[in-house]
Amino acid sequence: MKARVHVMLKDGVLDPQGEAVRHALGSLGFGGVQGVRQGKVIELDLAEGTTEDTVRQMCEKLLANTVIESYRIEMA
């Protein structure tokens, strides 16, 4: 089974990488880009029967830094 985890910086945490992308898009002539936030997506290929709770533990312990990042889990 598959799980997908999205990890994004929390609102209010400065995102220099996203800011660089926003600036670069402007330089390339794409107007109207008001904000860009960049995060990670992690696709996990798991043994059958793995619960969302287990994936949550993975996030808390390794995948996300919960001080500055929030995460969202999609089981598929």
Which residues make up the interface to a copy of itself (CB under 8 A)? Answer: 6, 8, 18, 21, 24-25, 28, 30-47, 50, 54, 57-58, 61-63
Q: Closer CB to a copy of itself, residue 29 or residue 67?
A: 29
Measured between alpha carbons, how far is residue 41 from residues 11, 28, 29, 30, 75 in Å?
17, 26, 28, 25, 13
The secondary structure of residue 17, as a DSSP letter, is H
- Both tokens of 50, joined, read 């793995």
Query: Least distance from C-beta 52 to a copy of itself, angstroms?
Result: 14
Separation of alpha carbons 28 and 5, rounded Å: 31
Query: Least distance from C-beta 46 to a copy of itself, angstroms?
Result: 6
Query: Least distance from C-beta 21 to a copy of itself, angstroms?
Result: 7
